[in-house]
């Protein structure tokens, strides 16, 4: 039998009966269906039955010599989609937190000896980020000397997602990150947000490319991480120019404050005139 699990292949057989492939994903998404594959070669002998078990409790049986050919048994956490299940595969939907467990396929050929081969693997149910992760707050253009600030959020995961930032494919040091308290919703599901405040120092950026690649990943349990990424353009301006730009911004803010103060003074003057005259 050739078993595919964790990228390893194992061989075993029983007489002329061979399981050629067993596919049970190590990680299954709570929001999706999952199909378990058990493929075999009977060596020319008639198939007697294919049985599936979760934690040693039978939940599906295919017996071609019986009517009906398929039977489904109640097992906690197992919901079989019979329309998509057959001798060589069984589809589970919907999944629940109780769908975690050890899944076993048992194949037997016909009388008189009923030779049987059995193989199993573990499956864990997790919830990948719902539409994400997502990077928020990035601008398309930055000047050297500014801070690149953004948040990366992985929503509605189970268990809590591990969020990581990368700049030009290098993981960002923790002291440049801001960690927020995860939000918990019914389920439970978790929203994880990790902030980035990266100083665009001359010695830290490659001005020959004038581009910076920004990526965040969200990893749930041991499954392959999901990612979101973007690129921002960089410009090199003299320190004096950058200071002038900041001065203009500050001056604009100050002018707005002064205008507000003037309006308040005018309103106050009108009020006192009306009251005392």
Joined together, the tokens standing for residue 144 give 């050297």
User: Is there a contact between 25 and 44 (Cβ–Cβ < 8 Å)?
Assistant: no
Question: What pLDDT was estimated at residue 233?
Answer: 95
Q: Quick one: DSSP state of residue 26? A: S
Mode of pairing for the β-strands spanning 17-23 and 3-5: parallel
Q: What pLDDT is stored for residue 259 in this prediction?
A: 57
Length of the chain: 277
At residue 36, φ and ψ (nearest 5 deg) are -100, 135
Pure H helices in the chain? 239-276
Contact present, 181 and 146 (Cβ < 8 Å): no
Task: Note the pLDDT of residue 68.
Answer: 95
Q: Which residue has the tokens 């007489």?
A: 15
Query: Is beta strand 3-5 parallel, antiparallel or unpaired with respect to 13-14?
Result: unpaired
Cβ contact 191:156 at 8 Å: yes
The owner of tokens 């009388």 is: 111
DSSP designation for 254: H
Q: Considering the entire predicted model, what is its pTM?
A: 0.76
CA distance 207 to 224: 33
- State which H helix or E strand residue 22 sits in: strand 17-23
The closest alpha carbon to 106, from 95, 94, 119, belongs to 119
R_g of the chain computed on alpha carbons = 31
The reported pLDDT for the residue numbered 242 is 47
Would you state the pLDDT for residue 219? 97
Provide the pLDDT for residue 258: 55
Average pLDDT, 10 consecutive residues per value, the chain (277 residues): 42 73 96 96 93 98 96 98 97 96 96 88 96 94 96 96 97 97 93 97 85 97 96 80 48 51 48 43
What pLDDT is stored for residue 206 in this prediction?
81
Measured between alpha carbons, how far is 211 from 231 in angstroms, rounded to an integer?
7
Q: What pLDDT is stored for residue 236 in this prediction?
A: 87
Peptide bond into 274 cis (omega under 30): no
- The reported pLDDT for the residue numbered 202 is 87
Q: How far apart are CA 257 and CA 153, in angstroms?
A: 35
């Amino acid at each position: 039998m050739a078993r595919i699990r964790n990228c390893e292949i194992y061989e075993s057989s029983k007489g002329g009966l061979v399981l050629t492939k067993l596919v049970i994903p190590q990680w299954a998404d709570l929001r999706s269906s999952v199909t378990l594959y058990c493929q075999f070669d009977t060596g020319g002998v008639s198939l007697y039955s294919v049985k599936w078990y979760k934690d040693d409790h039978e939940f599906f049986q295919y017996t071609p010599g019986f009517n009906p050919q398929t039977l489904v048994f109640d097992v906690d956490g197992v919901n079989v989609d019979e329309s998509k299940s057959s001798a060589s595969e069984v589809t589970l939907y919907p999944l629940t937190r109780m769908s975690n467990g050890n899944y076993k396929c048992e194949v037997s050929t016909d009388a008189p000896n009923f030779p049987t081969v059995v193989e199993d693997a573990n499956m864990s149910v997790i919830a990948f980020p719902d539409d994400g992760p997502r990077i928020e707050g990035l601008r398309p253009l930055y000047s050297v000397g500014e801070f690149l600030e953004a948040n990366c959020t992985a929503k509605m995961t189970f268990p809590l997602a591990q969020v990581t930032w990368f700049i030009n494919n290098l993981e960002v040091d923790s002291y440049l990150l801001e960690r927020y308290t995860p939000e918990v919703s019914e389920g439970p599901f978790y929203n994880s947000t990790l902030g980035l405040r990266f100083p665009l120092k001359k010695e830290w950026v490659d001005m020959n490319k004038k581009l910076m690649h920004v990526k965040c990943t969200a990893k749930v349990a041991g499954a392959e991480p999901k990612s979101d990424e973007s690129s921002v353009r960089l410009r090199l301006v003299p320190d004096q120019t950058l200071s002038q730009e900041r001065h203009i911004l500050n001056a604009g803010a100050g002018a707005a404050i002064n205008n507000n103060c003037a309006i308040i003074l005018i309103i106050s003057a009108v009020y006192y005139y009306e009251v005392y005259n």
